[in-house]
Structure 1
Amino acid sequence: MLGGIGLEVTVLLLLILANGLFAAAEMALVSARRAILEHQAEEGDAGAAAALALVDAPNDFLATVQVGITFISTFAGAFGGASVVRALAPLLADLRVPFITRYAESIALGVVVLVITYLSLVIGELVPKRLALRQSERLARRLARPMRWLSGLARPIVQILGTSTDAVLRVLGSREPQHEETATREIGYLLETGMRHGEIEPAEAELVEEVFRLAETRARDAMTPRPDIVALPETASIHEAQRLALSSGYSRIPVYHHSIDEIIGFIHVRDLLDACMQGEPTELPEILRKPLFVPETAPISALLPRLREERAHLAVVLDEFGSTAGIITLEDVLEQLVGEIREEHRPEEAGIVQRSETSWLVDGTVSLEDLRNTLTVTEWPDRERLGYTTLAGFILARLGRLPRRGDAVDWQGYRFEVVDMDLRRIDQVLITRIDEE
């Protein structure tokens, strides 16, 4: 009798252990870090490659795990109720305790249910999952290949379950999110969690957020616009170039042929200094450096590596007609990451002047990106569709006409009033915080 129940208990324990393997495989593959698995797969680790294949098809894998766990749990319950109870009840009856003898089968059933539940939770779920969390990549590599084999066996059942699940989800109106949106959202959650636990500094989190914003920022958003370009005609003398370099404070100055739309290169202040030191007659074309041309729609994230590859610090930004829209420097690109960089010899620019706690006097040419640290505006109306990048562009878009002095528009709790015009150009704008009703 004891030998019989021992065999049945052994079978029951094996079923619970099998349940634990499924639970461990599920947790290990779900929590494993993809970057580590990819690195190991590149080094020839077959287990890591199998794990990546399962991670890339989570619906099939999770369905296989669920089928396995459900089958094992059902079989363990049926086996325990039928075999173990039948073997345990006579043993309890042999104790010759009146109450136990009378209800031996019911007591045996209760004991079996409690023991199976306890062992299933501890050995079949909690311990395997905790081990999988502690050694996720290691267990994922070891269990991935057996799980792929089981997935192949269970594929017909999984396909039926998958079709049924998709049908229910369609009825509920649930759609799978885009991978890029999900990944970005996950990184955002990780940054927030890291800051809460003190593992990531706020400045570090802000820098990472700016990196993601680079993909949405175009060259036209960071460039110096055409009206503000300091440039020279190719017929200018070296002395004129030197005077302009000293007065402007710029180290690189574009040079054009007939108009600013025909930029043929740029001069570096170092070359001007060398020409002055040599004391020999030098023409501007002799010291011109080759320019880099980029479209105004180029994302900053793509522009930065191109500037680095070309070893260029300045690029000419062209619009859709091939005309000069502006110029952009390496410093402009870096400022999109770390904020405004001011050189020690360059005076403070009066682009944004705070007049009080609730008002600012701002140049019309100030970019909307520069206003981000001053105002709490979260978005600008129709910016992508209309393509404006400056404060003046915003006002023109809202008014739909050339403004006059005193014209004002309200947006997201601020009033933007044109206080000065330079012919047809918006020169200065008074921004005042207002109480929205």
Structure 2
Amino acid sequence: MSSDALLTFLADYWLSLVSVIALLVLSAFFSGSETALTATSRSRMHTLESNGDQRAGIVNRLIERRDRLIGALLIGNNLVNILASSLTTSLLIGLVGDSGVAIATFAMTVLLVIFSEVLPKSWAIASPDRFALTVAPVVRPFVAVAGPLSSLVNAIVRRILNLFGVNLASDMPMLSAHEELRGAVNLLHREGAVIKADRDRLGGVLDLGELEVSDIMIHRTAMRAINADDAPEVCVREILESPFTRLPLWRGSTDNIIGVVHSKDLLRALAEPNVEPETLDIVKIAQKPWFVPDTTNLKDQLNAFLRRKLHLAIVVDEYGQVQGLVTLEDILEEIVGDIADEHDLDIQGVRQEADGSIVVDGSVPIRDLNRALDWSLPDEEATTVAGLVIHESKSIPEERQAFTFYGKRFTVMKRVKNRITKLRIRAADDTPTA
């Protein structure tokens, strides 16, 4: 081989080598960009854009069409990987002959895995937001050029998958926004970034649209009300001695609610000249009752309370029968809860025993128990603990009967007629043996 030919060969060799290195860098760029832009926090980017960060705005525009973005980056990544492998194979064949194919395959596999996949993706996933902000200005023009080809590829892929009954509707996310938010809060709680009380409050807000008034109402059997036919002084005494500021007023039957008496209205009436408790007409100072269906969800009911500027509503079923009452405070407690301390039980009707078991009234809501003890008992089929036991046992249990489900051992301690009034709950694996 002449000296000129040798120089030409070396020039080609170094040019190819530099080209392969440049292509590996481009491959790393595409891989890292794909990882960073798909893992970046949309909420943080939105906040940065609102604060005037133009790069965050570019990131938001790119991830609005995620399928187009990923398709363009994958096309670019595959093009440079194939080109790098082809150049390496050609180079090694020229150097060592036919065995260069095997050497090139092995060498490029190692280089691509380490330097074009694992390294850039590990770097990107370690700080996706910073990485995304850095690469976004460069990625945008590339996506603008390769975007139409990416859309064509995506359309072909969707057509092929449709033949097999797979529908990739981009506008149908697997999780709703509420589910994504709930999952994020639960994850942050497990990682220690969000305390239990804050998690419960955020969860309470998200649950408002899923709960109905019947799930939190004060049942008619526990509802305190005033009989309009009682002597006026008796009604006045009952209202003033009640811990509640608003009481329903009924006549003839507790199903016939004719008004709601506010203690402030009562005191205002008693302050009038020549008005005595014996001569006071309770019906005249009562406000008109507000009836709401028991199927109303709490989100709508909260908005209705705020719109009407009222704090109490009478709950009725589909036949118009009174089922109980719900107050604005009841709904707010679903958000803020009524637990004084994360580790102390402060629910009415719940008592911690020395042996670690929990004694609860049958009327205690399952949701309150879950929030207090961080349990996950289901509340889809039953609202109270007693209702859950009856639903699972498919019967009205006798006293001292015990059942095990959802990892808990439920023992019926007291039953009044067909109502379970007290239960003991302990972990199933803590059940004492005879």
Please report the TM-score for the alignment, with normalisation by the length of structure 2. 0.70
What is the aligned-residue RMSD (CA, Å)?
Answer: 4.7
Q: 1:263 aligns to what SS in structure 2?
A: strand
Q: 1:80 — aligned with what?
A: 88
Q: What is the CA–CA distance in structure 1 between the aligned matches of 2:356 and 2:206, rounded to whole Å?
A: 31
Q: Shift of residue 243 of structure 1?
A: 1.2
Q: What is the CA–CA distance in structure 2 between the aligned matches of 1:364 and 1:128, rounded to whole Å?
A: 54
Which runs of no fewer than 5 residues in structure 1 stay unpaired? 90-102, 171-176, 343-347
1:325 matched to 2:318: no
Between the two proteins, what is the percent identity of the paired residues? Answer: 21
Q: 1:180 aligns to what SS in structure 2?
A: coil
Q: 2:3 — aligned with what?
A: none
Q: What is the CA–CA distance in structure 1 between the aligned matches of 2:100 and 2:347, rounded to whole Å?
A: 87
**Is the alpha carbon distance of 1:139 and 1:218 closer, same or farther for their aligned partners in structure 2, counting shifts above 3 Å?**
farther
Q: 1:228 — aligned with what?
A: 222
Q: What is the CA–CA distance in structure 1 between the aligned matches of 2:28 and 2:159, rounded to whole Å?
A: 27
1:227 is matched by which residue type in structure 2?
A: T
> Which structure 2 residues correspond to residues 30-429 of structure 1 after superposition, within 5 A?
30-37=38-45, 40=49, 47-48=58-59, 50-55=61-66, 58=67, 61-82=69-90, 86=94, 118=111, 121-122=114-115, 126-127=119-120, 130=123, 133=128, 134-137=130-133, 139-140=135-136, 143-144=139-140, 146-147=142-143, 149-161=145-157, 179-180=174-175, 184=179, 187-188=182-183, 191-193=186-188, 195-196=190-191, 198-234=192-228, 239-256=233-250, 258-281=252-275, 283-340=281-338, 351-352=349-350, 357=355, 362-372=360-370, 378-379=376-377, 384=380, 388-394=382-388, 397=391, 406=399, 408=401, 410-412=403-405, 413-417=408-412, 419-421=414-416, 424=417, 426=419, 428-429=421-422
Q: Shift of residue 400 of structure 1?
A: 6.4
Is contact 2:248–2:261 with CA below 8 Å preserved after alignment?
A: yes
Q: 1:366 aligns to what SS in structure 2?
A: coil
Is contact 1:37–1:49 with CA below 8 Å preserved after alignment?
A: yes
1:62 is matched by which residue type in structure 2?
A: I
1:50 is matched by which residue type in structure 2?
A: R
Greater CA drift, 328-337 or 143-152: 143-152
Is contact 1:32–1:137 with CA below 8 Å preserved after alignment?
A: no
Q: What is the CA–CA distance in structure 1 between the aligned matches of 2:297 and 2:184, rounded to whole Å?
A: 25
Q: What is the CA–CA distance in structure 2 between the aligned matches of 1:379 and 1:349, rounded to whole Å?
A: 16
Q: What is the number of residues matched between the two proteins?
A: 401
**Is the alpha carbon distance of 1:223 and 1:164 closer, same or farther for their aligned partners in structure 2, counting shifts above 3 Å?**
same
2:240 is matched by which residue type in structure 1?
A: L
**Is the alpha carbon distance of 1:80 and 1:390 closer, same or farther for their aligned partners in structure 2, counting shifts above 3 Å?**
closer
Q: What is the CA–CA distance in structure 2 between the aligned matches of 1:251 and 1:320, rounded to whole Å?
A: 28
1:150 is matched by which residue type in structure 2?
A: A
Is contact 2:364–2:384 with CA below 8 Å preserved after alignment?
A: yes
**Is the alpha carbon distance of 1:192 and 1:375 closer, same or farther for their aligned partners in structure 2, counting shifts above 3 Å?**
closer
Q: What is the CA–CA distance in structure 1 between the aligned matches of 2:117 and 2:394, rounded to whole Å?
A: 68
Q: 2:343 — aligned with what?
A: none
**Is the alpha carbon distance of 1:110 and 1:240 closer, same or farther for their aligned partners in structure 2, counting shifts above 3 Å?**
same
Q: What is the CA–CA distance in structure 1 between the aligned matches of 2:139 and 2:203, rounded to whole Å?
A: 36
Q: What is the CA–CA distance in structure 2 between the aligned matches of 1:81 and 1:392, rounded to whole Å?
A: 74
Q: What is the CA–CA distance in structure 1 between the aligned matches of 2:122 and 2:358, rounded to whole Å?
A: 57
Q: Shift of residue 10 of structure 1?
A: 5.3
Greater CA drift, 267-276 or 278-287: 278-287
Q: What is the CA–CA distance in structure 1 between the aligned matches of 2:348 and 2:86, rounded to whole Å?
A: 81
Q: What is the CA–CA distance in structure 2 between the aligned matches of 1:124 and 1:20, rounded to whole Å?
A: 6
Q: 2:169 — aligned with what?
A: none
- 1:125-163 Cα offsets, whole Å, 9 max, x none, are 745873672242564476346325413124444444556
Bigger RCO of structures 1 and 2 (CA < 8 A, at least 6 apart): 1
1:28 matched to 2:27: no
Q: 1:261 aligns to what SS in structure 2?
A: strand
Q: Shift of residue 225 of structure 1?
A: 0.1
Q: Shift of residue 73 of structure 1?
A: 0.6
- 1:75-125 Cα offsets, whole Å, 9 max, x none, are 111123325875xx5xxxxxxxxxxxxx69989997998699658854787
